[in-house]
Copies of this chain bind each other. A is one copy, B any other.
Amino acid sequence: MDDTRLQATPLQADELRNMDRFWRACNYLSAGMIYLRANPLLREPLKPEHIKRRLLGHWGSDPGQSFVLVHLNRVIKQRDLNVIFLSGPGHGAPATLAHSYLEGRYSEIYPDRGETEEGMGRLFKLFSFPGGIGSHCTPETPGSIHEGGELGYSLSHGYGAAFDNPDLIVTVMIGDGEAETGPLATSWHSNKFLNPARDGAVLPVLHLNGYKIANPTILARIPHEELEALLTGYGYKPWFVEGDEPEKMHQQMAATLDECIDEIRAIQQRAREEGNTQRPRWPMIVLRSPKGWTGPREFGGHKIEGTWRAHQVPVADPASNGKSLKLVEEWLRSYEPEKLFDEAGRLVAELRALAPEGPRRISANPHANGGALCKALDLPDFTEYAVDVPKPATSYVSPTDVLGQFLRDVMRRNMTSFRVFGPDETASNKLTAIYEASQKTWLAQIVESDSDGGDLSADGRVMEMLSEHTLEGWLEGYTLTGRHGLFATYEAFVHVIDSMFNQHAKWLEKAKRELRWRQPVPSLNLLITSLVWRQDHNGFTHQDPGFLDVVTNKSPDVVRIYLPPDANCLLSVADHCLRSRDYVNVIVADKQPHLQYLDMKSAITHCTKGIGIWDWASTDLDHEPDVVMASAGDIPTMEALAAVEILKGLFPDLKIRFVNVVDLFRLLPDSDHPHGLSGRDFDSLFTTDKPVIFNFHSYASLVHKLTYRRTNHANIHVHGYAEKGNINTPLELAIINGIDRFSLAIDVIDRVPRLRGVGDHAKERLRDQKIQHLDYAHTEGIDSEEIREWKWAG
């Protein structure tokens, strides 16, 4: 096992000394950010009033992160490398902030925190200070595409950044706490999806600093052999850099990094020059260094360095405790700031020379401001994929099947900047046409029997792994570095990534609203499919349309929800989403064959408006309606139309207005969302006093959440998924949740004043029909033909 620790000493004495000084400058700045509100260069003795009134920040992982950054600088300069750095450990921002400040990039973006004593003081003060700088690598952090506020996604983000960036080396520092999360634990397998010929390299650095907030970490407390086996089992070649003596560690790290870069280049050369894309064993580094390295060794009889006590603020009370103040001063002075910074407060020239220049600086690398590199997709004309709809609601087509054809050609025209992601379900979700443009990415073993259905290839651009976390992480990394994609996933299980969605939406909002220097990035497009209303056969666990509730909680600046009722609307929506920037677009569309309502021209008009009256389905032309029948979603729309048809047969003079909603946020007031309708427009659609029967795709309460301030809200009666289901037929599932045609028609009869009494007999017959259909389903196992093939008679 000895060969996993390198003994070479590639650094000359001078080089080593200066690298160590650069590192100490980073550490000085990190500690300064945590403690100081004044006296940043310690030009006078440290006094209580120099200490911040509230001490916040996380010291523990900073020195280890800075250590890696300093060494990355060396290889970047030496070999002119293109490197970005993702900081996985939570709250470890002082290290990256310090480094970007020393590279000069931080002051370029934030001139009020310049490379002067005053600027340094301001950086210190603002860190973890109200209205100031966050303790994670937030969007405000130059060079960051990974905030790390929630743990677990650094490695999948890193791989996402590396795809289709052949020149890039993505260094991902993984905290050993973070490494315990599920998303991180499976994201190691991303190496089975990275093509050394076409993609860049990912260099994971697992940072074993031993402790989380209050506990040791698992990976730091298993035997060396076990850890090595684990990482080997994940498919890597791990190199170990372990110790606490800076001099030895610098030599080890330099030797190891040289070795890793050599291996990466050799792998890439084999793939690119010899055409060998067999899955390589990519190198990685395990850095075992003390938590809070170079910080106070002990205090008050407790060990600090190397323990959980170094995780956050290692010495808690310097403003009120003289001993603590002395210790903090000694600690800060141990870095000898007077030898690191010049009179003006700027890093001395010989150290400045260690950092790369211009865009080679990690904090200035344009890949970490992906919008700057982003090119618009070359999109085919989506209208050419239109489904022929000569008459509304008379033919069945799978919307995602049609979308798949469009996406196939999007893929063909953008073979280095567009990918499709899905958990083993691209085919199941009827997006199969995409495979005509590109196979599925796969660098693990391929066997003969795969080929007749698998279409696996190292060159594939369709990403399938049974981990929604990894897919979402890849796509986030891919879009944040300026490329485009779409993630198609099972509606019930998109909740798996609720939290990732939340974090990405938060990132986009900050970047978009507050950071001019961050260029807009491609939107994250989520296609939610295998919808609740066709999960009748999969049962209760597969029925959950509640992701939309999570989405509506995020800022209206960055979230969009579309429920295209048919294939042509889906095409129009998809085209719009693929052109957009800085949003999370959620598209809800089922994969089964569904009725088609609108020809392409009508679909474009309808989707552009986002909501509208369907005249062809309405009977209120030139009249005040008796009732508004509204719908959002493909199946609810079909049932609502079928209800209209039933009602037309029963009450030929009933005036029904049919409204369909594509863009869900149209329901909100325009004061709450940029897509919201004004009160006047809303009222002109939904009236101010007529009953509205709204058949909704998801939980009914969401429509109320969006419309409660509307004039006519008291008359809006929403039907939606009521958390009732089992193994059913589609109609049975609709009936038990009350979104079926019969229940809707009954509700109309109940709500329209002039039908009360008059409609009693009809209601009874409708109830009987429900029972008959349930009986049929329970005998035959399917819905009756008249239901399965229902069409609009017009």
Contacts and interface: CB of A to CB of B under 8 A. Distances in A.
Given A218-B444, A230-B233, A178 B466 contact: yes
Given A54-B781, A54-B782, A701-B552, A453 B499 contact: no
A537 B466 contact: no
A303 interface: yes
A793 interface: no
Interface stretch (A16-24, A344-352, A540-548, A760-768): A540-548
A464 interface: yes
Contacts of A442: 215-216
A229 interface: yes
A739 to B, nearest CB: 16
A538 B728 CA distance: 47
A37 interface: yes
A500 to B, nearest CB: 9
Nearest to A279: B222
A121 to B, nearest CB: 14
Contacts of A426: 214
A158 to B, nearest CB: 16
Contacts of A506: 540-541
A181 B178 contact: no
Contact of A53 (B177, B440, B781): B781
A701 B699 CA distance: 14
A537 B232 contact: no
Interface string A178-200: 10111111110100100000000
Interface stretch (A148-156, A166-174, A517-525, A611-619): A148-156
Interface string A340-378: 000000000000000000000000000000000000000
Contact of A495 (B189, B502, B546, B704): B502
A132 interface: yes
Contacts of A452: 302-303
Given A185-B182, A189-B180, A727-B129, A539 B218 contact: no
Contacts of A396: none
A723 interface: yes
Contacts of A465: 180, 218
A684 interface: no
B466 A151 contact: yes
A705 interface: yes
A54 to B, nearest CB: 5
A268 to B, nearest CB: 22
Contacts of A781: 37, 52-54, 125, 129-130
Contacts of A131: 726-728, 732, 777-778
Given A180-B465, A226-B235, A428-B213, A549 B540 contact: no
A573 interface: no
Given A150-B492, A493-B150, A181 B466 contact: yes
A549 B553 contact: yes
Interface string A123-156: 0010011111111101000000001011110000
A307 interface: yes
Contact of A134 (B450, B468, B539, B778): B539
Contacts of A180: 186, 189, 465-467
A389 interface: no
Contact of A424 (B183, B214, B440, B705): B214
Nearest to A494: B499
A729 interface: yes
A208 to B, nearest CB: 12
Nearest to A544: B502
Nearest to A151: B466
A464 B216 CA distance: 10
Interface string A743-779: 0000000000000000000000000000000000110
A740 to B, nearest CB: 14
Given A131-B778, A233-B233, A440-B215, A550 B550 contact: yes
Nearest to A546: B553
A2 interface: no
A389 B153 CA distance: 45
A580 interface: no
A546 to B, nearest CB: 4
A592 to B, nearest CB: 13
A260 to B, nearest CB: 20
A128 B218 contact: no
Contacts of A222: 192, 233, 235, 444-445
A634 to B, nearest CB: 21
Given A180-B186, A212-B424, A302-B452, 12 more contacts: A56-B537, A129-B781, A130-B732, A131-B728, A134-B539, A135-B538, A221-B446, A229-B230, A230-B230, A492-B502, A495-B550, A708-B713
24 contacts: A53-B781, A130-B727, A130-B728, A130-B781, A131-B726, A136-B541, A138-B541, A150-B496, A182-B469, A184-B186, A189-B218, A192-B222, A213-B428, A214-B424, A215-B456, A216-B454, A216-B456, A222-B233, A308-B454, A493-B499, A502-B546, A546-B549, A702-B705, A704-B705
